[in-house]
Amino acid sequence: MSVSHDLVPECGADEEAVWRLARALANARSLDEVAEALAGEGRAAAGASFANVGVLLEDTDLVGIVSSAPGSPGPVAWANFGLSTSIPVCAAIREGCPVLVGSSEEIEALFPEVAAAPPITGVKALAALPLD
């Protein structure tokens, strides 16, 4: 089934980026591919400066995180973090609720190590949402 572009209502997002995300998700065949599609294409579709997706690795206390950064055409890299690590995506998974941070000062207060990381420098707000 295909949807005509002219049937989609106007929104503030980059329409072409939203379609790239939709195509990437439609072609994803595994959890890793879904995460890579969201990190790689979701950043532009949301108008964000960076994106990452964390996946709790089966039978471990590790979170696999795939990231994209400004100017990257897709996902940059996967890295593993302990679930207890003080970063927003791990906190959201650990607590089972959204982590919404509305200012750079709040980011620095809640997640000081994250505030100094290159992809985060200059970010004014962030959100980490747990999906079940």
**Element holding 79 (H helix, E strand):** strand 77-82
d(CA 128, CA 123) in angstroms, rounded, equals 14
Whether 100 shows a pLDDT value over 90: the answer reads yes
- What pLDDT sits at residue 4? 45
> What tens digit of pLDDT does each residue of 3-33 get?
444 544 455 557 888 999 999 999 999 888 8
